[in-house]
Structure 1
Amino acid sequence: KYAVDFDHFSPDLLNFDRFLLAAIVLTPFLQSSGSTWAGSRSQRRSKEKRGFDSGALFAGGELGLWMFAGYSLQSLGLLTTTAGKSAFLLYLNVKLVPIPSATLYRRKIPLSTWGSAALALLGTSLLCFDGGSAPTSGDILSIGAAFCSAMFILRLSTAAKEYNTAELSVYSLWTTVILCGSWVAIGEQPTSLQALIPSAADVPAILYLGLITTALTTILQTFGQRYVKAEKAALIYALDPVYAAVFSYVFLSEKLGEAGMAGAFLLTFAALVSQVDTL
């Protein structure tokens, strides 16, 4: 949000720069990764020479598609909504994960999930109409980003158990880089490579977004979800909007109104209710 508002980054160029940096940093892990990063399928393969794993490439490519869609919708949404509201709307991914999980893997949806769905819908409505104004396009885009995030979490929970963590992370990041680059080429139509290079004033934001919130979080999430099921992982991510609300208040002087606070509470409570039968 800070980069888009104050550093005047376009969402497409911002995502291209951050994911390119993260992909470059993590690519060496392809050669140095060992059994610590290996999934069950990788562990069954020869430790001396695993070679190229096409399955990991396709799995990482799919994850990259969901990653690109989620981050792009989030970045576009931040142009017309606040960071705090966006974070709580993105928190819908906690609520959405069990639904595609039941659809794709035919798991029975407990009654608590349907009850929490009603709470989440009410909470989302309160957030979108916070301050008495109609929902912005940014609110709608943030909800779309939440769905993409839910699909990423769900698909990652399966892929991380089968394939090498470093390979999945690198393949997903490079897929995102290619998609972001295509977006920049179509939307920005840069006339030279110089137009893609951030200015000196923009470097701190790119370094933070690329190294900390992209490279580090991608490798930690991919590694962690080898041991934590998707439903529980989504609940752990519940702290995201709490941190975002605090940071957006401290650094951007943003705060939710009464309706927004009530909506945020209902979304949080809905997520907790939906996970009762899955933990």
Structure 2
Amino acid sequence: MKKHVLADISLLIVTIIWGSTFVLCKIALQSMETFSFLAVRFFIASAILALIFWKNLSRLDKNTLKNGLIIGLIMFFAFATQTLGIYYTTPSKAGFITGFTVLLVPLISTLLFKKPPRKESLIGIVFAITGIVFLTMGSGGELSVSTGDIIVFVSTFGYALQIIAISHYSTFSDSINLSIIQIGVVAVLSAVFALIFENPQIPTGAPVWTSILLTAVLATAVAFTIQNTMQKHTTPTRAALIYLGEPVFSAMFSYMILGEVLSPKGVFGCALIFFGMIVSEVKMASLFKKPSKASGRFKKAS
């Protein structure tokens, strides 16, 4: 199997895992505050990776350390704002809003690297964003925006920068060590903010610990290691299009666990999102070509 195909499949699995985290975070946030939850989640994830890959970590170089710190800072901003926003809105709606990341990735890439996205990618993005609009519509066709929705929207800028940063830095950094460092940075910063702004408490109860362990092990330790290892074999725009399935899976898990039901407009929105992903895959034969060595690293941002 070619690397770019394996990368796409791997990132889709990661997207499914991340789709479940909106519900899991909502459950945990009923008993924990935002930064306390993130601190516990990311400390567990970083400890697991450090224990498993301690030999690899002993070979950490300054370049990977620097790159991991940069991505970690971006990740902290994205996760802190998104998790805080989830507390004030529904998991499914938070997932839908996070989908706007797909629009921001090619736009930010264009600003940073002065190279516009391919027109085929834009076609897929148009369908996808249209789908998100339908997903966020109320029963009367209106768009209902809450404080939580705005905070989650702010987080999409962080996630867009994270996707771009990982696509760039993972090409010349050790993927495992990069994951450990960036996750560790989020853990430390979350703990600092928890001590300053919150009243940290040890979480109690099976539902809370189940949510913490699932998000720490699967959605953090496993998912980010896969992302750092595989995303280098595709482009930021393609990765963002795959990640756009996250709100759809968020809605599915919200229905199965919390009983949230999508409206007919929401179902139609899901269909548009998947159609946009299919269009971007089937009709973009050029995107399946691995960038040539002469093209340079920055062309991966197209």
- TM-score range relative to shorter protein: 0.7 to 0.9
TM-score by length of 2: 0.74
Deviation larger for 211-220 or 259-268: 259-268
Which residue number in structure 2 is paired with residue 22 of structure 1? 45
> Are the structure 2 counterparts of residues 88 and 103 from structure 1 closer, same or farther at C-alpha, using a change threshold of 3 Å?
same
Which runs of 5 or more structure 1 residues have no equivalent in the other structure? 35-49
- Please tell me whether residue 242 in structure 1 is matched to residue 248 in structure 2: yes
Which residue number in structure 1 is paired with residue 76 of structure 2? 68
2:33 partner letter: S
Deviation larger for 94-103 or 244-253: 94-103
Q: Taking every aligned residue pair, what percent have the same amino acid on both sides?
A: 27
Which residue number in structure 2 is paired with residue 141 of structure 1? 151
- Please tell me whether residue 4 in structure 1 is matched to residue 10 in structure 2: no
> Are the structure 2 counterparts of residues 112 and 68 from structure 1 closer, same or farther at C-alpha, using a change threshold of 3 Å?
same
> Are the structure 2 counterparts of residues 19 and 224 from structure 1 closer, same or farther at C-alpha, using a change threshold of 3 Å?
same
Name which of 214, 217, 232 aligns with 2:220.
214
CA distance, structure 1, for counterparts of residue 50 and residue 258 of structure 2: 34
SS in 2 for 1:135: coil
Q: What is the deviation of 1:165?
A: 1.0
The question of whether the paired residues in 2 share the 8 Å contact of 1:20 and 1:174 is answered with: yes
**TM-align CA RMSD:** 2.8
Which residue number in structure 2 is paired with residue 13 of structure 1? 36
Name which of 155, 169, 179 aligns with 2:179.
169
SS in 1 for 2:139: helix
1:11 partner letter: T
Q: What is the deviation of 1:209?
A: 1.3
1:78 partner letter: I
Give runs of aligned pairs for residues 1-279 of structure 1, distance below 5 A. Answer: 1-5=23-27, 7-29=30-52, 31-33=54-56, 51-111=59-119, 123-132=131-140, 134-190=144-200, 195=201, 197-201=202-206, 202-269=208-275, 279=287
2:179 partner letter: S
CA distance, structure 1, for counterparts of residue 37 and residue 243 of structure 2: 24
The question of whether the paired residues in 2 share the 8 Å contact of 1:89 and 1:139 is answered with: yes
The question of whether the paired residues in 2 share the 8 Å contact of 1:88 and 1:267 is answered with: no
The question of whether the paired residues in 2 share the 8 Å contact of 1:84 and 1:255 is answered with: no
TM-score by length of 1: 0.80
> Are the structure 2 counterparts of residues 53 and 267 from structure 1 closer, same or farther at C-alpha, using a change threshold of 3 Å?
same
The question of whether the paired residues in 2 share the 8 Å contact of 1:4 and 1:11 is answered with: no
The question of whether the paired residues in 1 share the 8 Å contact of 2:100 and 2:129 is answered with: no
> Are the structure 2 counterparts of residues 2 and 226 from structure 1 closer, same or farther at C-alpha, using a change threshold of 3 Å?
closer
> Are the structure 2 counterparts of residues 264 and 137 from structure 1 closer, same or farther at C-alpha, using a change threshold of 3 Å?
farther
Which runs of 5 or more structure 2 residues have no equivalent in the other structure? 1-22, 288-302
The question of whether the paired residues in 2 share the 8 Å contact of 1:19 and 1:173 is answered with: yes
1:174 partner letter: G
> Are the structure 2 counterparts of residues 114 and 221 from structure 1 closer, same or farther at C-alpha, using a change threshold of 3 Å?
closer
The question of whether the paired residues in 1 share the 8 Å contact of 2:71 and 2:165 is answered with: yes
CA distance, structure 2, for counterparts of residue 3 and residue 109 of structure 1: 33
CA distance, structure 1, for counterparts of residue 151 and residue 264 of structure 2: 22
Q: What is the deviation of 1:265?
A: 4.4
1:204 partner letter: T
SS in 2 for 1:152: helix
Q: What is the deviation of 1:270?
A: 5.3
Q: What is the deviation of 1:99?
A: 1.4
**Equivalenced residues, count:** 259
